[in-house]
Every structure is written in C-alpha cells, then in structure tokens.
Amino acid sequence: MGLPRRHTLIGSAAIAAAAALPAAAQAPAPAPAPAQAPGYYRFRVGGWLVTMVHDGFFRRPLEGFVRNAPLAEVQALMAEHFQPTDHIQVPFTVTFAQRGEVLAVFDAGNGVTPAGATAGRMIANMAAAGIDPARVTHVIHSHFHGDHINGLLNAEGGAAFPNAQVLVPAPEWAWWTDEGNQSRTPEGQRPTFANVARRFAPYQGRVTPFTPGAEVIAGIASLPAHGHTPGHTVLRLHDGAEQLLFLGDLTNRPEAMMRRPEWQIIFDFDGDAAAATRRRILEMAASERVRVSGYHFPFPANGFVAREGNGFRFVPAEWSSVV
C-alpha cells in the first residue's frame, strides 16, 4: 500500500532539502580517535600494592615468529583467538610492587623511544600512576633483552632510576658480560652484549647478581627459567598465602604460547630448553592456582593459568577498583 499523498510530498521535500546541503553536512568526516586513558591498573597481593603499567606494543610479521610449526598452523590458532594472521602485535606491560619503603619494578621497559613509536609509553603512564622513578628502590630483572633493559637509561643517557639497586640473575649477568660468549650466541642476539654494557653503565657499583631459586629481597623470590635466555628467571611476589608469579618472557602472547607450550619462537636463545621450562612452570602455576603477570600479555596482564587440552590458557583476573 502506498503512502498518503501528504506524506509523499513531505518525504520528497526532505529528500530535496538534503540534496541541497553541502556534502560535508550530509556525511561529516569521522572525528579522530580520542587519546587513550592512562595505562595503569592496581590490585593487591597481600600487603603488596601492585601496579601494572602499559609500555605500548610492537608489530612484526607472523611468518617466522614460531620456528617449529607451519605458518598455517600458527595462523589458524591466532585466527581462533581473533588475532591477525599476517602479523603479531606484542604488548609490553611492566609490573611495579610496593610495600612499606620498598618500591620494586620487574624489568625496566623500553625507555625513551623515537617520536611516533608504538612502544615506550611506560614513562608517561608511570607519571599518570603517580610513580616517581626516583622513589624506585629496586629494579629486578628477568633477563636482558632490549625491551626489558633499555628503560634503565633516561633521555640524557643517565640512570632512569637514580636511587635504585639493580638486581640481576647471576647466570644472565655472567653470560652477557663475557664477550667470549659471542660465538656461542645466536647471531640475532649478539647485539645484546654491547647493549648490556651501555644500559647498566650508570649503575656501576649498584648491580647485584642473585642466584635463581633464592630470595631476592624480602617478599620477592626467584625461580630458574632459562631457555628464552641463558639466565631467564621468573619472580615470585609473596606475602603469606598470597602470591604473584611474574613470568617475564616465559611465554610471549599467551593465546599462542600457552596453548602450544612446545612452540619455539624467534627470540628464544635455546628453543628446546625454553619449551621445557615453559611447560614446567605453567604446570606449576595451574596446579597452584597462583596469580600470574606476563610481560607480553594483553593489558593489564594479570590473571591465572588453566589447563586446556595438551596445553594451557590464560584466564584474566576479575577487574576491581578496590586496592
């Protein structure tokens, strides 16, 4: 049934009026995306106040990322998790832990990056979270890849954490400070030797190696987790029954590396050792139902490990504003 003549006339007039409007008025250009809110999130582990600080991300081609699985298999798993299949986007999240006078940070982030870089957001997000780098008492490292130590330096090349003690896994320190190990290091990781010398230089006299498996400082223990690097170490924050495992780079993105713990990625120093370590510690985390954080987990990088099939999956913790 047709519209009454009066409605037809009104509709025709409206269409004519719209046609007379400038093109911009008909279809306004989309507004630029607003700036994101500051990237930090807080929760408690016993008496520890934990702040997760986002440090941006980087992208690399998915092809070649996993060394021991066909690209099609990797793409299928990423697609299952609604991830791109041509590239992988790797986030950076830095864990701060405060109790009493102690303010520790696990790894140092990317630090100062060129304008327009997608990484290096930690500095601004620390300021938004009210974290003064001069108040950091301990920088505790999991390992020495650049995205974990570059933030030791400020824009002037000095110490970004001027009052901090720097605590490092003894085997990691021993490997990367001995130039004689260069020939026994994968070629793509050899620049780490010079980078370690540069990044730790302003902290001369304040770098203390610890033995993985030992208590690092009161309330922060360590677990040997080598493979990703010669001395890669997991850190265990604890207070009574409350715990948090900082997994460092035990896994990269959990959608891939938890589901397929046997996969070895391009950044692994010793792929076989990394895969064995990954399965061992993820099994422990799942069995103990302990909270975990990961350096390359989607922000806020805070949750749990559950078994799934022959692998595992990451279960994000419930968000809460109560700290």
Domain segments of the chain as ranges:
12-316
pLDDT at 28: 61
pLDDT at 22: 41
In this prediction, residues 65-74 reach a mean pLDDT of 97
In this prediction, residues 200-220 reach a mean pLDDT of 98
Q: How does 116-127 read in b/e, with b if 16+ C-beta sit within 10 Å? A: eebbbbbbebbe
pLDDT at 116: 87
Q: What are phi and psi of 148, to 5 degrees?
A: -105, -15
| CATH superfamily of the domain spanning 12-316 | Ribonuclease Z/Hydroxyacylglutathione hydrolase-like (3.60.15.10)
pLDDT at 307: 97
List the end-to-end C-alpha distance of the chain, in Å, as a whole number.
63
Q: Which sign does the torsion angle of CA 312, 188, 52, 104 carry?
A: positive
pLDDT at 115: 87
Spatial strand order of the sheet with 40-45 comes to: 40-45, 48-61, 87-99, 102-106, 138-140, 165-169, 207-210
Looking at the predicted structure, is the pLDDT value of residue 82 above 80? yes
How does pLDDT run across 26-62, given as a tens digit for each residue?
456 666 656 666 699 999 999 999 999 999 999 999 9
pLDDT at 318: 81
Please state the length of the chain: 323
Q: Could you tell me the pTM of the whole model?
A: 0.87
Where residue 201 falls (left for φ over 0; alpha for ψ -120 to 50; beta otherwise) is: alpha
Confidence category of residue 117, pLDDT binned at 50, 70, 90: very high
Looking at the predicted structure, is the pLDDT value of residue 237 above 50? yes
In this prediction, residues 71-89 reach a mean pLDDT of 97
Looking at the predicted structure, is the pLDDT value of residue 319 above 90? no
pLDDT at 8: 40
How does pLDDT run across 130-179, given as a tens digit for each residue?
999 999 999 999 999 999 999 999 999 999 999 999 999 999 999 999 99
Beta-ladder partners of 313: 306
